[in-house]
Chain A
Amino acid sequence: MKALISFLFLISPMVALAGSFVQGLPDGAYHGKFRGQKKGTVNFIVRGYAGCDGCFIAYKLKTPELLGDRTVDLVAYSALPMESVNVNGRLTSTRYSLTPIGVDSTGDLTLPNDDPSLILNISKGAGTRDAEFTVTSAQSGNRLGGVESMVFLWSREAPFEVIDPSEGQYRDAGSTKVSATVTSLKTEEDGSHSAHILWMGNIRQEGGDFMLKERLPGVYTFNAVSYHGEGNRVRSMPTFIVMFVHGNGQFCFEKQDMMLMVNPVNHVDVSKMILK
């Protein structure tokens, strides 16, 4: 009896894991590689939301070989379930369409192109922790955020997790001179966060006052505020798309709260701001 209990205890995580392959990707962060490339790694952060059971928001963070140096690419996707693949009546894989989130001409955070750029394919594993999921090009013509193939192992957890923003001073991982101060953090009726940011700017962008608003679950916009005789106005085109993560910061083994800011049009030029 004792042996049986021990056996069940041992196999239960595998059974649970095998089940989760067909149901979808559990919330979490996954670490993978670009297929056919020796250098460079990629992290995939998955976060479900109440408005759509079975859908999730995915964040792709492309990093160079050395973690903690500098993130070079950040794209948020709307992930929606597609038809499952059945062979001889048996479910073999579950697929999701990944459509990049960006800004339209009015500055609204949206899906600029309705067509997905990537397809995520979860193969039904045999219960082994080395089973994988892959991300490949959707071949739709939408190339926003890149269409390189990626492969992820379930067992390789990425060193990041999505968090809510915190008030305080953030400094640029690459320069001690650049800082951002997050104040007046508020939560709206729908659970979204907003805050005021005083940003000191960097070489590419001017500093000043900004409004931070959560437009989609975990995806924020960073819009400049201008002051006039009649009051203040918020510029409609965001300067950055922002997300907050907890993970490897300036030093490889030190996990910190960070604000990642990316150019909303090309999804590169990422600034990594670390909470002091």
Chain B
Amino acid sequence: MKFFKTKSLSLAFLMVAGMSVAHAQTSLEYPGGPHSGMSDVEVKKLDAWAQNTQLQLTRLENELSYNEGESLSDSEIKRKLYDGIKEIAGDSGLKPGDLLLRQSLYAGITLCDIIDAEGLKKGATPGEIGEQVSILKQTITLAKKYYISDQVYVNGLLERRPEVHFNNKLIEFGVELTQFMMKQSRKMIAIDASASYGMIKWSLGVLNRKILDDDRNVAFANTITYLNQKLESFPEMENLSSDVDAVKKIRELKNLAKEVFSEIEMTQKSLVQH
């Protein structure tokens, strides 16, 4: 009875958190999503898309790796990377059904958009474009890493193996993606403080969404609600009163991230023990 009560309470938490977090999620590009009864033909299409994307990304890397010296400026490299990745990531928006490869690419594009938005407001600072190039390159590395886990999942679908789930690794993916984005924001603080703030805040929002999408979300209900409530108390990037305020808020967000990472680790450990 006590267990049932706790579970109901947790689900109520999730519903509240879900309403605030799962916004702007429209229909999936591939009908039904990869984990909800796709036909063999659809799964094969998804598999082909992932393979093709992986090849496109490798081609993009090769094209740029031999031209970086003198023939292409950083602005041109950024444009090529950004356009190439955006074409692949499309309107992913971190939808629950999208392959992790695609979600990683979308995250890189969003970080670049945050930097551009702030750069337009204040005027660009030296290093801004170089940082965007670095983010996009590392995004490709991350996406290629997740292509491997996506392949395991897609093969599992094709082979009708019920033990292969899509939604049971989303928390780990969310943590790694958030840590990657927070690492990138570290240098940004020495270029543009409010952009750095925007990057960290968005990253933590992504983490919350990924925990919510995971099959184990009930066990993490308290973390979801806590993180969601805390994030709501932070202003939007556009509403920061000053750069000094941004620096102060960045410190608070970093503390929150530390707290949440440790909570996730503890819950993961207790799940393994049970």
| Chain A residues packing against B (C-beta within 8 Å) | 49-55, 57, 78, 80-81, 83, 101, 106, 108-111, 114, 184, 186, 188-194, 196, 209, 211, 213-219, 225, 228, 230-234
Contact = CB atoms under 8 A, between A and B. Distances in A.
A231 B131 CA distance: 24
A114 B128 CA distance: 19
Contacts of B191: 49, 51-52, 216-217
A125 B73 CA distance: 47
Given A51-B128, A51-B192, A53-B243, A216 B75 contact: no
Interface residues of B, number: 41
B190 interface: yes
Contact of B247 (A81, A114, A194, A231): A81
A110 B69 CA distance: 21
Interface string B33-77: 000000000000000000000000000000001111111011100
A78 B190 contact: yes
B183 to A, nearest CB: 8
A209 B75 CA distance: 22
B216 interface: no
A57 B187 CA distance: 12
Contacts, number: 137
A83 B249 CA distance: 12
Nearest to A234: B68
A192 B246 contact: no
A53 B126 contact: no
Interface in B136-191: 138, 183, 186-187, 189-191
B269 interface: no
B243 A232 contact: no
A236 B216 CA distance: 40
A192 B129 contact: yes
B122 interface: yes
B128 A211 contact: no
Given A52-B189, A52-B247, A54-B243, A214 B126 contact: yes
B16 interface: no
Given A50-B124, A216-B127, 10 more contacts: A49-B126, A52-B243, A111-B190, A188-B126, A189-B124, A196-B69, A196-B70, A211-B69, A218-B126, A233-B65
16 contacts: A49-B191, A52-B194, A80-B189, A109-B187, A110-B186, A111-B189, A114-B254, A188-B74, A189-B75, A190-B130, A191-B125, A192-B129, A216-B187, A217-B125, A233-B65, A234-B69
A211 B70 CA distance: 8
B193 to A, nearest CB: 4
Nearest to A110: B187
